[in-house]
Chains A and B, each alone.
Chain A
C-alpha cells in the first residue's frame, strides 16, 4: 500500500509518520502515536468521543484522514494540561461528578474547551447546544453542564491564575 509522509504537531511536539492515505486521524493519534485518551464510540460522527482540536478548532478525529492533518497543530486530552496541574475543565469535571465511566469524557472536555474559547460565558442553553455533538450515556448531562459552568467561572475570573477546586464536593481522592 502506498504511504504518504506527514508532519503534525501534537500537543506541542513535532511528529512525523508515513501513513496510508485512508488512515483516520484518530488511528494516527491512538495507534501510531500511542495517545489513547482520544476514543472511538461510533462510526458516524455522532458521539464525539474522538473530539480533538485541529488548528484551534474542535474536530471529530474519526471523520478526518490523517493526511488531511498534515502540517496541522493538534491538541488532544493529553495535551490539555501537564503533570499534576489540571485544566479548569478537568478540575471541574472532577469536582462536579461530570463523568462516570469516563469514556466520553476526553471528547466532552475537548469540545467544552473549544466552546468556552468561542463563548467564555455561555448560558445553560448554549452549553447544552454546544455539547450536543457529544453523547454521554452515564451522566444525563446535568453535572457536565455544571462542570462547564464552573470552568467558565474559573477561567473568566482569572485566566492565568492557578486553578482552585470549587467547594461543591468534599473529601480527597
Chain B
C-alpha cells in the first residue's frame, strides 16, 4: 500500500500515485461520448411538460382538446390520469411524498402540471403550448419563517390531522445543557446569523431519460441520468408494486451512459422520469424526456437554503468553550433531500469542525414553502458545506472580537495530530488529521505575513484588500451500515473483478462516474493491488443488469466506499492467485512472496509466476479441488467515515467605486489521504473551488413575494466563467486514513465545502466596529431575519416539540450522539426561531 505520494508501481503499470491520463477522454475529445440526449431508440416518442406559472394555485381545469389536435401529438397525461394508477404521488428519497403530477393544487412555479407525448420534440412543445390550464392563485408562502407563523397557509394538508403545519421535522445533536452552561460562563460570547443561499448544481448536461417498456417481454429499459442507478431501480420497482403495475425489479434495466456532470442533482427521482416510464407503459413505445435549462434550474432539486443562527463562547484569550447552532432549513414543498434516513439535516453536526472543544449543541427544523422540493447534497456530503461555513465564519468573528489574528486563533484551537482518533462533542470519530501542518503550509505558500503587511499598508491608503482563511474538516464516505441507509438501503458499495485468461481485466462497480474519472482511478487501484497495467483493465458502471448493487456516487463516497471494495476484491483475487502460483511453482503458499505483479519463492527470486501466467492457469491448469476462474466481488461496509481536511487562504481586492470583488489569489492545501491519481485529484479540487467561488460571489436562486423564480436561466443564474475564476494554487499534505484499505479519504467535494468561507472571511475588516459580518462579500443583504417578532409563542420558541427523544417514532442512533435525534413535525406551529433571533441578537450588526 502506498502511504505517501511516491508510486510503488512503474508508469507502465500505472498504480496509485501516477498521473495516468484518463482512459475515458479519447471518446469525449472526439465528440463520441454517449450522453442521455444521444440515446435514440426506434419508434421513440418525445415527452414535454406543461408547467405552472404560479407558485401556489388551485387547478380548476385542464383542457387538452386543442393540444390533441396538434399534428404529432398523441397524448396528454394529467394528474387525474395518473391517479387512476396511484402514480400521481411518489416517495422522495427522504421519505416524504412529492407529486408526479397534481390533481388539484400546484405548489411551486414551474411544477409539472401535464405531460404531452408527441412524435418529435417540436410537436411536443407545440402541444405544451396548446394545453389550457385554468388556475386560481392561492396565497404564497416564500419565507420559511413566515411559514411557521400561526395562520400561515398549511401547504401539505395531505400529511394527516396531526401534521397540519409547515414544520416538517426537528433534529438535534449534542448536549444542550452543557452548551448552554458553556455559553453562560464564557468570557467572550459572539453570535451571528448566516444564510447559506439556495443554489443549484447546474451541471452543463440537464436531466433526462429514455423509457422503453416492452409489453411483450414485460421489460423496462430505462436509460437515465442517475448517480444512483441501482437505488433508483429499486424505487421504481417499489412504486410500481404499490401501483399494482407488473414492472418487477428483475425486468427493469437501468443504463446511465455518460453523465454530463451530476454534483448531487442527479441523485433524486424527478417527476419527468416517472412520467416517461408511465407514458411508455401506457403507449408501449420508447419515450424520451430531456429537460431544458430553464426547467432544470426552476424545478429540479435545489441545494443549501439554510438559515443559521450560531453562538460561540470562548475565553478572553481565544480558547473556544462552546457552540450552539439553531437552523431553519427551507425544503420547498416537499423534503426531497437525499440525506441518509437517520440524518434529516445530513451530517450538519460535524459543525464543530477542526477545533477542540467540549460543548456543542445543534438543532435544525425543516420547513415547507412554495418552492421546488429539495434539497440535494450539492457536491457536499450532506449539509457539510453549511456546517463548515458556519464554524469557519464564527472562528473568524471570534478572532476579530478579541483582536487576534484568525490564523493564530485557529492554531490555538485546532485538534492536534496526537489527539486522533478524536471524538467530537456531537459524536463523530475523526480518523486522522494534521490541521496545523495544512494551515502552516498554506500560510508559507501565500506568504501570509507579507500579505498582512500589504493589507495594513493598503488600509492606510484607503484601499480595500481582504485575506480570508478556511480550515475545514469534511466528513465523507457514507457510510457504516449500522447508521447509514437511504430508504432502508444500507450504504455499502461494491466491486466485482473478473480476470480473463489472457490477463485482461473487467471490473464493475456499484457507483457511477459523472466526470470523476472512475474508468481510470479504479483501474489504478486494481493495477496497484494486482500488477496488471491500467491499459489492460476495463471499468464498467451504470448498467444495473451487470454491475453489482451499490448506492451510487455522491457525498464523496466513491473512493472511500467503492474504492475500498475494489481494493478488497483485488486482494481476494491475489489470495487465490497465491494458491495458483503455489500449484504452478510446486511450493507452499506460505513460502511465496508478492512483489511487482508476481509471486516468487522466498529466497529464490528467479522462481516466480507473473499475475498474467497465474490468470491463464486459473482457466487452464488449476489444481484439483479448486474452482476454476479468477473472479471476486466485494460489498464493502466501511467501519467509519473518512475525514478529509485542508486549509484555504483567499486574497481579494475590492473596488471601492463599484464594489466589485476580485479574487486575486487563492491557495488551497488539501489532505485527502493517499492519492490515487494526482492529476485527477488536482482537477477535482480546481472544479470544487470554482463551485465554492460561485455561491460566495455569483450564484443564488431567489424568489419574489409571489414565488417567482428570479434566477431561472443562465442569464440570471451566474455560473463563473474563465474570466471570474482565479488561477487556483494547490498544495497537498498526506495523512492516510487508518481504516481505509488504501489509506484514501475522498476528495471530490472538499473544495466546494472549504472555499466559500475563505472568500467570505476575506471581506476586508473596517477599522470601526460597526457592521462587519456578512456571509460573504456579496451576501450582505441576504439575511432573512424578519424585522419584528411575528409570533405570540415567544417563550416556547427554543423548545423541542414534545414528542422528543423518548418517542417511539423517534429513531435512535447507533453511533453515540453522532446522528442526533429527530422527530417528525408535531406541535410546531408555535415554533418561531425568528423571535429567538431577535432576543439574542448580538451587538455586532451588518452594514
Q: What is A's interface to B at a CB cutoff of 8 Å?
A: 1, 20, 22-23, 27, 30-31, 35-44, 46-47, 49, 76-78, 81, 86, 90-91, 93-95, 97, 99-106, 109, 124, 127-129, 131-145, 169-173
Q: Nearest 7 A-B pairs (CB), nearest first?
A: A37-B31, A101-B515, A103-B260, A102-B28, A140-B686, A77-B31, A171-B20
Main secondary structure of the interface of A (DSSP, over half): loop
Query: Looking across the interface, which residue of chain A has its beta carbon closest to that of B524?
Result: A171
- A94→B690 CA distance, assembly (Å): 21
Which A residues touch B260, using CB under 8 A?
39, 41, 101-104
Q: Given A105-B29, A172-B535, decide whether A140 and B687 contact each other with a Cβ distance below 8 A.
A: yes
Which B residues touch A102, using CB under 8 A?
24-25, 27-29, 33, 258, 260, 515
Residue from A81, A90, A102 having most chain B Cβ neighbours under 10 A: A102
- Say how far A114's CB is from chain B's closest CB, in angstroms: 15
Which B residues touch A105, using CB under 8 A?
28-29
Q: Given A39-B260, A41-B204, A144-B722, decide whether A94 and B22 contact each other with a Cβ distance below 8 A.
A: yes
Main secondary structure of the interface of B (DSSP, over half): loop
**B683 with A172: CB separation less than 8 A:** no
Pick the contact of B205: A20, A101, A124, A144 (CB < 8 A): A101
Q: Quick one: which of B219-267 are within 8 Å of A by CB?
A: 258-261, 263
Query: Looking across the interface, which residue of chain A has its beta carbon closest to that of B527?
Result: A171
- Say how far A147's CB is from chain B's closest CB, in angstroms: 10
Which B residues touch A23, using CB under 8 A?
122
- A106→B37 CA distance, assembly (Å): 15
- A38→B27 CA distance, assembly (Å): 13
**B203 with A137: CB separation less than 8 A:** yes
**B29 with A109: CB separation less than 8 A:** yes
**B25 with A93: CB separation less than 8 A:** yes
Which A residues touch B121, using CB under 8 A?
27
Q: Does B32 contact A (CB under 8 A)?
A: yes
- A104→B28 CA distance, assembly (Å): 9
Q: Quick one: which of B180-214 are within 8 Å of A by CB?
A: 201-206
- A145→B713 CA distance, assembly (Å): 26
Pick the contact of B30: A77, A135, A144, A172 (CB < 8 A): A77
Pick the contact of A99: B14, B28, B723 (CB < 8 A): B28
**B29 with A101: CB separation less than 8 A:** no
Which A residues touch B34, using CB under 8 A?
36
Q: Does B460 contact A (CB under 8 A)?
A: no
- A81→B292 CA distance, assembly (Å): 30
**B728 with A140: CB separation less than 8 A:** yes
**A135 with B679: CB separation less than 8 A:** no
**A135 with B690: CB separation less than 8 A:** no
Which B residues touch A36, using CB under 8 A?
31, 34-35, 37-38
Pick the contact of A97: B18, B32, B205, B679 (CB < 8 A): B679
- 14 residue pairs from A and B, CB less than 8 Å apart: A37-B33, A41-B205, A41-B260, A77-B30, A94-B25, A100-B687, A128-B721, A128-B723, A135-B721, A138-B261, A141-B721, A142-B725, A144-B722, A171-B14
**A46 with B714: CB separation less than 8 A:** yes
Query: Looking across the interface, which residue of chain B has its beta carbon closest to that of A109?
Result: B29
- A77→B31 CA distance, assembly (Å): 6
- A134→B719 CA distance, assembly (Å): 10
Which A residues touch B688, using CB under 8 A?
140
**A172 with B534: CB separation less than 8 A:** yes
Which B residues touch A144, using CB under 8 A?
722
Pick the contact of A94: B26, B40, B205 (CB < 8 A): B26
Query: Looking across the interface, which residue of chain A has its beta carbon closest to that of B295?
Result: A43
**B122 with A22: CB separation less than 8 A:** yes
Q: Does B503 contact A (CB under 8 A)?
A: no
Query: Looking across the interface, which residue of chain B has its beta carbon closest to that of A38?
Result: B31
- A153→B679 CA distance, assembly (Å): 21
- A29→B721 CA distance, assembly (Å): 26
Q: Does B680 contact A (CB under 8 A)?
A: yes
Q: Does B11 contact A (CB under 8 A)?
A: yes
Which B residues touch A106, using CB under 8 A?
31
Query: Looking across the interface, which residue of chain B has its beta carbon closest to that of A147?
Result: B29
**A42 with B25: CB separation less than 8 A:** no
- Say how far B584's CB is from chain A's closest CB, in angstroms: 29
- Say how far A47's CB is from chain B's closest CB, in angstroms: 6
Which B residues touch A136, using CB under 8 A?
204, 722
- A49→B33 CA distance, assembly (Å): 13
- Say how far A148's CB is from chain B's closest CB, in angstroms: 10
Pick the contact of A135: B27, B32, B37, B204 (CB < 8 A): B204
**A141 with B514: CB separation less than 8 A:** no
Q: Does B142 contact A (CB under 8 A)?
A: no
**A173 with B535: CB separation less than 8 A:** yes
Residue from A38, A103, A127 having most chain B Cβ neighbours under 10 A: A103
Q: Does B294 contact A (CB under 8 A)?
A: yes
- Say how far A50's CB is from chain B's closest CB, in angstroms: 11
Residue from A35, A46, A95, A127 having most chain B Cβ neighbours under 10 A: A46
- Say how far A45's CB is from chain B's closest CB, in angstroms: 9
Which A residues touch B534, using CB under 8 A?
171-172
- A136→B725 CA distance, assembly (Å): 11
